[in-house]
Amino acid sequence: MASINPSSHLADVRYEIRGALTRRARELDAAGHEIIKLNIGNPARYGFETPAHLREAIAAHLHDSEAYCHEQGLDVAREAIAEQQRARGAQQVSIERIFIGNGVSELIDLSLRALLQPGDEVLLPSPDYPLWSAATILNGGTPRYYPCLAENDHLPDADEIEALVTPRTRALVLINPNNPTGANYPRALLERIVAVAARHNLLLLVDEIYDEVLYDGAVFQPLAEVAGDLPCVSFGGLSKVYRACGYRVGWLSLSGNLQRSAEYRDALQLLAALRLCANVTAQWTIPVALHGPATIRALTAPGGRLHEARRAVVEGVAASEFLAVVKPAGALYAFPQIRTDRIAAFDDETFALRLLEQESVLVVPGSSFNVPESRHLRLTLLPQPAQLREVFVRMERVLARMAEEQPRRAVA
């Protein structure tokens, strides 16, 4: 019988965070190897717990969760999100311009599906979170990447972004605080980027899921406030700040001029209605989360577990003969790179596989985040600090072997 051929749209779609390396790690797990997994930002898998008041909200509203709700989400939940966005300076935000989804991932897909015609271009950061590239491609768009290089602290250059704009460019995507690099964008940079979007009539799309995961006094600047009257879609949710990935609660807020974005808002509503609604049970946690205590701060402050995990990574890189890193200012990741003066020829996928096979450590190659010729790796900060220190011992052993295998330079 003829085989079933998958869609050709998937040919350029990658998601190595849960890809071939992860499947190999499961095989090694099943064979009795204890794998240290640094591949995914899933707090509960590392012993973090969702705050008790969110669990209590679910328990209190089980009876109220048995019917479909409005396609955009529960009124009480959307009003809490709208209040948060208005308090952050977003203009023209009301519950009619809030959409709740089964995680931000679903809403990223809906936002691009509502926008793109075949061949339209979307400006994406490199490195990006690969779902953004995948959703662009699967909705008929073409990714165009602007670099966020380590030598610039993984911050983009507004002039380089503008140089990529063509007549087919429809949207400009930002991820702030950034996954995978941990960069936190200053207001002055955001103002320059907003000016580019305004000059070229681009829709701003900003992934702010890590908005409160900040270190060493870093300040989060919401893009919607800077964008003002310019249409801006801001994404947030409970997965990271509230350690509630399994609840699948995300939202988008459409801010800016009402008339300019009216048809786009209606398109979002149509798509939301086609999938009926998001998980109702978990939506009851949104008001208590946004009106309750900021429990993440104890984890990111000095002495907190995330802060100390980040310290372990920074110190591990500093002690390494082979690694360099831009110190993360936010989010749950670090993005170290291998120094060219120590290992000239380097393939990040080969290294990641060797690290897994030889030292039982699972990381994600930087090329998985749409970085050409990557010398980077993404590490999550979620494991215990002591385990992260052990990871760097193991990484150093593999890198030392690779350095020994490099061709010796001829002596003149």
Q: What is the CATH number of the domain that holds 83?
A: 3.40.640.10
Tokens representing 210? Answer: 């890590």
257 with 393, same domain: the answer is no
The reply to whether 359 falls in a domain is: yes
Query: Domain end: 257, 291, 325, which one?
Result: 291
| C-beta of residue 289 within 8 angstroms of C-beta of residue 87 | no
pLDDT digits (tens, 9 = 90+) for 328-347: 999 999 999 999 999 999 99
β-strands 361-362, 36-37 pairing: parallel
pLDDT of residue 411: 41
* Range from 18-22, 65-69, 80-84, 101-105 carrying the lowest mean pLDDT: 18-22
The reply to whether 348 falls in a domain is: yes
pLDDT at 373 over 90: no
129 with 43, same domain: the answer is no
The reply to whether 238 falls in a domain is: yes
The reply to whether 200 falls in a domain is: yes
172 with 135, same domain: the answer is yes
CATH number of the domain that 30 lies in?
A: 3.90.1150.10
80 with 111, same domain: the answer is yes
35 with 119, same domain: the answer is no
Tokens representing 103? Answer: 């995680």
82 with 124, same domain: the answer is yes
The reply to whether 54 falls in a domain is: no
pLDDT digits (tens, 9 = 90+) for 160-172: 999 999 999 999 9
35 with 142, same domain: the answer is no
Query: Domain end: 291, 323, 339, which one?
Result: 291
Domains held by the chain: number: 2
Q: What is the mean pLDDT of the chain?
A: 94
pLDDT of residue 4: 82
328 with 391, same domain: the answer is yes
**1-23 average pLDDT score:** 77
271 with 361, same domain: the answer is no
The reply to whether 3 falls in a domain is: no
Report how far residue 396's alpha carbon sits from residue 154's, in angstroms, rounded to the nearest whole number: 24
**375-388 average pLDDT score:** 97
Domain that holds residue 380: 8-49+298-403
The reply to whether 152 falls in a domain is: yes
236 with 359, same domain: the answer is no
Q: Is 2 helix (H, G, I), strand (E, B) or coil?
A: coil
Cα distances from 114 to residues 109, 263, 264, 276, in angstroms, run: 9, 10, 7, 16
Using alpha carbons only, give the angle 248, 252, 258 rounded to the nearest 5 degrees: 160
252 with 116, same domain: the answer is yes
The reply to whether 157 falls in a domain is: yes
Facing residues of 205 across strands? Answer: 173, 233
Report how far residue 153's alpha carbon sits from residue 31's, in angstroms, rounded to the nearest whole number: 41
Reported confidence tier of residue 412, pLDDT bands at 50, 70, 90: very low
Query: Domain end: 234, 260, 291, which one?
Result: 291
Residue 374 or 189, more confident? 189
